[in-house]
Structure 1
Amino acid sequence: MQTNTLKAHSQNQWLQSYYYIRAAVSVIWIALAIFTGRHNPVIGAVLLVLYPAWDALANYLDASKSGGLAVNPPQRFNFIVSLIVAAAIIWALTVSMNATIKVFGVWAIFSGVLQLSASIRRWKHSSGQWAMILSGAQSALADLFMFKQASGDMALDVTTVAPYAAFGVFYFLISAITLTIKNGRKNRVAC
């Protein structure tokens, strides 16, 4: 029993750091999109490719702290899908920004469903998962909004994705803060 408690505590400590890192990277991405990518299409395009590439790397890192990709099917699939989407975005950028946003939107569905699945799997052993479950559901629903925008004739750019990224920041911070509070309580009790 002691080993399971230590393992859960270690996992919660990792997730706390991981969620803060995810939030910080997203804030940087949003700032770059708004202040640079909007005005420079090349930087905007690079940012659109980097978003799913970073998600793939983040899923890989998270899975490696939780037994590896082999024992975490949602993260393994999200890792693979995110890499494929980064490549698909490169292709879509040669077609149009609307096509790019549609690809990003389809990825939002898969990414959200896989995040939802990973969070549900962690529910019993890790704290702060309710926000990640909401984030996964919201991510899946974001596709509808992105498709609507991409199907219209409004001018789109990298900032079209910024609200989606901002919701991610919100949910990652809620989870990180929840874990910070719970981990702090557990540390005080252990002393």
Structure 2
Amino acid sequence: MTTTRLNPIVLAAPMSLRPANRSSLLRLYLIRGLVAVAWAAAFAKVHDPLDALAITLLVIYPLIDAVSSLIDYRTMPRDAERRITAFNAVLSTVAAIAMGAAGSFGVAAALAVFGAWAAIAGAAQLVLGLRRRGSELGKQWPMLIAGGLSFLAGISYGIRAFGDKPSLAVLSVYATGGGVFFIVQAGLLAWRSRQWRPAAN
């Protein structure tokens, strides 16, 4: 009886996505990016003063991420990636609840909670991007950059929350930047999909 040795490099290689899953991911990134940009435009107009409408938008933003993560979860063939995405969905749901509570305590509390969520979610996005860095998914550079910037921005917001004049205006910039990176990643996926079609045929 012979024993076949499996190459650990092969075992660690990213699993290929079916065209339908790749197309779903492309649509998810595009819609997620456009919604983030729209949210940023709306929040820029209502963030000051921090009233019921502004707090509602603060609750909605993490929920957008939670819903996106759940949709992404359904398309994932890899267990490790699914765990990261499930974690992010739970994290964003908890963040939405925390934002609703923090909003009643003022700008500093809201900024601190948003910063904590942005830092942890950014770290999760960075790890997920690293796991998806195969050529089939466009190397994930926009997602890697966005995750890293989210992590740094979150820490910065936490520091600002304890400063003299905390402001929520920076959150519109944060959402706009994140949305643009999602849209760029969707464009890269569309480009990669066109390249893979001739190879598949």
Query: TM over 0.5: same fold?
Result: yes
Give 2:167's aligned residue. 156
CA shift digits 1:89-109 (9 cap, x unpaired): 111112221011101001111
Confirm or deny: 8 A CA contact 2:142 2:184 kept in the other structure.
yes
Give the C-alpha shift of residue 161 in structure 1.
0.8
Given candidates 19, 22, 40, the residue that maps to 2:32 is 22
Confirm or deny: 8 A CA contact 1:11 1:126 kept in the other structure.
no
In the alignment, the residues of structure 1 paired with residue 166 and residue 155 of structure 2 have an alpha-carbon distance, to the nearest angstrom, of 17
In the alignment, the residues of structure 2 paired with residue 111 and residue 144 of structure 1 have an alpha-carbon distance, to the nearest angstrom, of 12
SS in 1 for 2:137: coil
Give 2:114's aligned residue. 104
Q: 1:67 to 1:189 in 2, by over 3 A?
A: closer
Confirm or deny: 8 A CA contact 2:28 2:72 kept in the other structure.
yes
CA shift digits 1:106-127 (9 cap, x unpaired): 1111100111111222223522
In the alignment, the residues of structure 1 paired with residue 90 and residue 78 of structure 2 have an alpha-carbon distance, to the nearest angstrom, of 14
Give 1:145's aligned residue. 156
Q: 1:103 to 1:40 in 2, by over 3 A?
A: closer
Confirm or deny: 8 A CA contact 1:131 1:172 kept in the other structure.
yes
Give 2:52's aligned residue. 42
Give me the identity figure in percent.
Answer: 27
In the alignment, the residues of structure 1 paired with residue 200 and residue 48 of structure 2 have an alpha-carbon distance, to the nearest angstrom, of 49
Give the C-alpha shift of residue 169 in structure 1.
1.5
Confirm or deny: 8 A CA contact 1:116 1:137 kept in the other structure.
yes
Give the C-alpha shift of residue 155 in structure 1.
5.3
Query: Following TM superposition, where does structure 1 have runs of at least 4 consecutive aligned residues deviating by more than 4 angstroms?
Result: 67-71, 188-191
In the alignment, the residues of structure 2 paired with residue 39 and residue 85 of structure 1 have an alpha-carbon distance, to the nearest angstrom, of 21
| Structure of higher CA gyration radius | 2
TM-score by length of 2: 0.82
Confirm or deny: 8 A CA contact 1:19 1:175 kept in the other structure.
yes
Structure 1 spans left out of the alignment, 5+ residues = none
Give 2:185's aligned residue. 175
Confirm or deny: 8 A CA contact 2:125 2:144 kept in the other structure.
yes
In the alignment, the residues of structure 1 paired with residue 109 and residue 50 of structure 2 have an alpha-carbon distance, to the nearest angstrom, of 19
Confirm or deny: 8 A CA contact 2:118 2:150 kept in the other structure.
yes
CA shift digits 1:125-184 (9 cap, x unpaired): 522512111111111000132123222222524x33111111101211221111121212
Confirm or deny: 8 A CA contact 2:81 2:128 kept in the other structure.
no
TM-score by length of 1: 0.86
Counterpart residue type for residue 167 of structure 2: L
Counterpart residue type for residue 62 of structure 2: P
Give the C-alpha shift of residue 70 in structure 1.
8.5
Give 1:136's aligned residue. 147
Give the C-alpha shift of residue 11 in structure 1.
3.0
